[in-house]
Amino acid sequence: MSFPIMSSATEFIVGDDSGWTLGFDYQAWAVGKNFQVGDKIVFKYLEGAHTVFKVNGTGFQNCIKPPANEALTSGNDTIVLATPGRKWYICGVGSHCDMGQKLAITVQPLALSPNMAPSPSPSPLTGKPYPPKVAHKRPFLLNPH
Q: What is the pLDDT of residues 25-62, one digit of tens each?
A: 999 999 999 999 999 999 999 999 999 999 999 999 99
Q: What is the CATH number of the domain that holds 25?
A: 2.60.40.420
- Confidence band, pLDDT 50/70/90 cuts, at residue 142: low
- Top pLDDT among 87 and 114 is at 87
Residue 114 DSSP class: G
pLDDT of residue 8: 79
Q: Is residue 101 a part of any domain in this protein?
A: yes
Residue 72 lies in a domain: yes
3: in domain:
no
Q: Which residue segment(s) compose the domain that 85 sits in?
A: 11-111
Does 103 have pLDDT greater than 70?
A: yes
* 21, pLDDT greater than 60: yes
Cα 50 from chain centroid (whole Å): 25
65 lies in some domain: yes
Residue 95 CA from chain centroid, whole number: 29
pLDDT tens digits, residue range 57-97?
Answer: 999 999 999 999 999 999 999 999 999 999 999 999 999 99
Tell me if 129 is assigned to some domain.
Answer: no
Q: Identify whether 118 is part of a domain.
A: no
Give the confidence band of 4 by pLDDT, cuts at 50, 70, 90. very low
CA angle in degrees (0–180, nearest 5) for 44-49-50: 60
User: Is 141 among the domain residues?
Assistant: no
- Report the number of distinct structural domains present in the chain: 1
The Cα–Cα gap between 80 and 38 comes to 6
Is residue 38 in some structural domain? Answer: yes
